[in-house]
Amino acid sequence: MAVHVRPVLLMLRRCIAVATVVVAVQFLAPAGAAERPERPPAESGSLADQIDGLIDEARELPVAAPADDAEFLRRLYLDLMGTIPPAEETRAFLDDPSTDKRTRLVDRLLASPQHARRMQVWLDVTLMERRGDTHVPSAEWQEYLRRAVLKNRPLDELVREILAADDTDPARRPASKFYLDRGGELNLLVRDVSRLFLGRDLQCAQCHDHPLVGDYEQQHYYGLLAYLSRSFVFSADNQPTVFAEKGVSDPVKFQSVFSPDDTYETLPRVLESEPPAEPQFPGGQEHVVAPADGVRPIPKYSRREQFARDLACADNRAFALNWANRLWALMMGRGLVDPVDFHHSDNPPSHPELLDLLADELVASGFDMRHLMRSIASSATYGRSSALPDGIDPKTLVPEQYASGPLKPLTPEQLCFSLLEATGIAAAHRAAVQQELTTGDPRLGELLAVDSARERLADEVAEQRVYSRLQGNLGAFISLFGAPGGSPQNNVQSTVHQALFLSNGGPLVGWLAPGSSQLVDRLAKLSDADAIAHELYLSALSRPPNDLERGQVAGFLAARAEELAKAVSELAWALCTSSEFRFNH
């Protein structure tokens, strides 16, 4: 067997051309203390214009009209808050005559504690893909993510913390979930690091250069693996399991299944970048704590910390492109590179300049997710109606032309929370929590009412309490509407079981049952059909009914005057299961 130790730069070879996480909310310390200063809105405005310019110049189809206020409000709420807006919020927004109300809405939502929750869910689902818990409880990990978003911590810093996590700092224990709850499986970690942080699914390159994607080489796979090959899951009696690391390792060698006689070797490196300069220690002196039976080693030099620095940084273009693309996909329903983990030269972005621009902006803003989302939300492209102009067959739509607002299926969480909102349950819990906070504990009420920083804190506490009251409803939705644990969650399949769940056996029927439904009982007390129609559409579809719909509701209710509540319940069910509800449009 020939062993070629190749200089890294010459490695050019293609074998084939192809909790009631009322987590220590410290009541007296403002939670947002470490918050970064917001960028002036003018800059996001100009980025929004650039986005529109690049999208418009590449489009051939005629475009849809701008979304009206109701459509925009619902879309923005779902994207930034993870749920449809409360009816009173919709009413207020529609009644507000000011011209800058959309801009103010974007800013207000981005600063709200509910936005931190929405992004917590998104980051958790993106990074852990609904894997079961093994070593780090989800509640702790999710709270860690929520607080990071609440403080608008730079995304690169957060990822560095996750990739460097070694449990030496107990406060950062949750960050080690990424490694530990994948069982420290090296091949799984390399695949997921490449997919989730570099936008490249390098799995095929484990055994050989990717047969069909020239850019994905086996040396890339093993370059990443070399950063992690000193790491291992360490357990000792009476101590939490940790992802530990040794200070030494054998060189990482690999061979292609196509030419098993040739063995190659690689240093740690991220894709095509140079291997890091690593400190060398005399043999036997590589550790602060040397490995021994039952003893967790601590190396003088951590390759994993180096990994975090080399991968999650402004100089790593793949990292910036990956996150710019994923944030665009979050807002616009598809990546500029699609699928989001398939960046390579034969699958170019639909709008290369735009992706570059967004990545530049992400880097320049210090990996500020809020800044990017604000800019996208402020663009005309984002704010376009999902209804195509007359005369265009929706089936001829080319999604990457962004001629109309995209239809995005609600995630399991969005669907569950939106149904809780539409049926009046969320509002009832919000009211109960307000009651708790103002009268339940007078001292708390006083503390929270002192100044505006405290007011923010009050919002945060209220959000946490409402969430903890509602989160028990999520499980059934996740198991039926989500993808299986451990697989990508950004695609959904509609199944007959979902329809059966919403129609017959799931909680929705109970949430709309006359006599016990917040929504139905409220509406059934209203004086006339017109008022019922108005409230119903506002609550479920976040818009007033049009004349045709008003007429239909009136006709339907007139024929059922004997059993009005039941008829209202049927109407409400129909709206909650309609496509208009099921999709963010």
Partner 1 sequence: MKCNHACGSQEHGLARRSFLGTMLGAGASAGLGTLVRPAAAEELQRQQKRVLVCYLAGGVSQLETWDPKPRTDTGGPFRAIPTSVPGVHISELLPHTAQQMHRLMLVRGVNTNENDHGKGSYIMQTGRRREPSTDYPYMGSLAARLLAPEGAALPGYIHITPGGGGSISAGEAAFLGPRYAPVVLGNGNPPQNTALPDAVSVTSDAARQSLRRQQDERFLRRRRTALTEAYTSTYDQAAALMAQREVFDVSKESEQDHERYGTHDFGRHCLLARRLLENGVTFVKVSHSNYDTHNENFNFHIEQLGEFDRTFATLINDLADRGLLESTLVLVLSEFGRTPRINHLYGRDHWGTAWSIAMSGCGLQLGGTVGATNDNGTEVVDRQVDGGHLFHTYLRALGFDPTDQLTVDGRPVQIADPAAEAIEEVLA
Interacting span for partner 1 (CB under 8 A) from 31-39, 70-78, 288-296, 498-506: 498-506
Out of 5, 25, 295, 500, the residue judged to bind partner 1 by CB under 8 A: 500
- Check residue 396 for interaction with partner 1 (CB under 8 A): no
- Residue type at position 209: D
Residues 268-327 that bind partner 1 (CB under 8 A): none
Question: What minimum distance in Å lies between the beta carbon of 237 and partner 1?
Answer: 25
Stretch binding partner 1 (CB under 8 A), from 16-24, 27-35, 101-109, 241-249: 16-24
Give the one residue of 49, 309, 342, 401 binding partner 1; rule: CB under 8 A: 342
**Other beta carbons less than 10 A from residue 394's beta carbon:** 10
Considering only 276, 366, 488, 544, the residue that binds partner 1 (CB under 8 A) is 488
CA distance 149 to 146: 5
- The answer to whether residue 58 forms part of the interface with partner 1 (CB under 8 A) is no
- How are beta strands 298-299 and 287-289 bridged, if at all? antiparallel
Asked if residue 33 binds partner 1 (CB under 8 A), the reply is no
Closest contact distance (angstroms) between CB of 462 and partner 1 is: 33
Among 137, 183, 366, 445, binds partner 1 (CB under 8 A): 183
Report which DSSP code applies to 464.
H
- Measured CA to CA, the distance from residue 191 to residue 182 in angstroms comes to 11
Count the Cβ atoms, other than its own, within 10 Å of residue 7.
Answer: 6
In the complex, least distance from residue 229 CB atom to partner 1, rounded to whole angstroms: 9
The CB density around residue 77, as the number of other CB atoms within 10 Å, is: 26
Q: Pick the binder of partner 1 from 290, 298, 364, 483 (CB under 8 A).
A: 483
What's the min distance (Å) between Cβ of 38 and partner 1?
Answer: 35
Q: DSSP characters for 188-208? A: HHHHHHHHHHHSB--GGGGTS
262 is a contact residue toward partner 1 (CB under 8 A): no
Supply the minimum distance, in Å, between the C-beta of residue 579 and partner 1.
5
Interface with partner 1 includes 495 (CB under 8 A)? yes
Choosing from 115, 118, 173, 582, the residue that interacts with partner 1 (CB under 8 A) is 582
- Residue placing its CB nearer to partner 1 in the complex, 17 or 42: 17
Residue recorded with tokens 């032309």: 401
Q: Which one of 496, 527, 561, 562 is in contact with partner 1 (CB under 8 A)?
A: 496
CA–CA separation, 531 and 132 (whole Å) = 47
The one segment of 104-112, 146-154, 373-381, 478-486 that binds partner 1 by CB under 8 A: 478-486
Q: Which of 68, 88, 169, 185 binds partner 1 (CB under 8 A)?
A: 185
What distance in Å separates the CA atoms of residue 415 and residue 506, rounded to the nearest whole number? 13
- What is the spatial distance between Cα 473 and Cα 57, in angstroms, rounded to a whole number? 45
Stretch near partner 1 under the rule CB under 8 A, chosen from 28-36, 281-289, 424-432, 476-484: 476-484
- CB 344 → partner 1: shortest distance, Å? 10
Shortest CB 67 distance to partner 1, Å: 12
Specify the length of the chain in residues: 585
For residue 63, which phi and psi values (nearest 5 degrees)? Answer: -105, 155
Q: How many CA atoms lie within 13 A of 397 on its CB side?
A: 18
Q: Does position 14 bind partner 1 by CB under 8 A?
A: no
Residue 549 sits at the vertex; the CA angle it makes with 547 and 554, to the nearest 5 degrees, is: 95
- The CA-atom distances, in angstroms, between 549 and each of 88, 508, 544, 546 are 21, 23, 9, 5
Measured between alpha carbons, how far is 121 from 203 in angstroms, rounded to an integer? 26
Residues 581 and 421: their CA atoms lie apart, in Å, by: 12
Q: Which is nearer to partner 1, 211 or 445 (CB)?
A: 211
Number of residues that bind partner 1 (CB under 8 A): 88
Contacts 24+ apart (CB under 8 A), 544-550: 544/70, 544/94
Which one among 178, 234, 254, 307 touches partner 1, defined by CB under 8 A?
Answer: 254
Residue 253 binds partner 1 (CB under 8 A): yes
H-type alpha helices, 199-341: 218-228, 303-311, 317-332
Among 341, 361, 413, 535, binds partner 1 (CB under 8 A): 341
Under the criterion CB under 8 A, does residue 565 sit at the interface with partner 1? no
Whole-number minimum distance, CB 293 to partner 1, in Å? 26
Instruction: Out of 87, 332, 506, 564, name the contact with partner 1 by CB under 8 A.
Output: 506
Min CB(14)–partner 1 separation in Å: 12
232 binds partner 1 (CB under 8 A): no
Count of Cβ atoms closer than 10 Å to residue 26 Cβ? 10
DSSP 8-state symbol, 504: I
Dihedral sign for Cα atoms in the order 560, 566, 572, 576: negative
Tell me, letter by letter, the H, E, C secondary structure of 124-180: HHHHHCCCCCCCCCHHHHHHHHHHHHHCCCCHHHHHHHHHHCCCCCHHHHHHHHHHH
Q: Specify the residue, 295 or 574, whose C-beta has the smaller distance to partner 1.
A: 574
CA distances from 69 to 75, 98, 357, 407, 535 (A): 10, 12, 28, 17, 17
C-alpha 56/C-alpha 60 separation (Å) is 8
179 lies in the site for partner 1, by CB under 8 A: no
Binding mask 362-391 for partner 1 (x = CB under 8 A): ------------------------xxxxx-
Residue 77 binds to partner 1 (criterion: CB under 8 A): no
Query: Given the rule CB under 8 A, which of 69-77, 402-410, 418-426, 520-528 is the region that contacts partner 1?
Result: 402-410
When asked if residue 206 is in the footprint of partner 1 (CB under 8 A), the reply is yes
Strands 242-245 and 408-409: unpaired
Find out whether 489 and 130 touch, Cβ atoms under 8 Å. Answer: yes
Decide: is 222 part of the binding site for partner 1 (CB under 8 A).
yes
Our finding on whether 134 is near partner 1 (CB under 8 A) is no
- The nearer residue to partner 1, 141 or 254, going by C-beta atoms, is 254
Q: Which of 152, 176, 203, 381 binds partner 1 (CB under 8 A)?
A: 203
Q: How far is the CB of 11 from partner 1 (least distance, A)?
A: 15
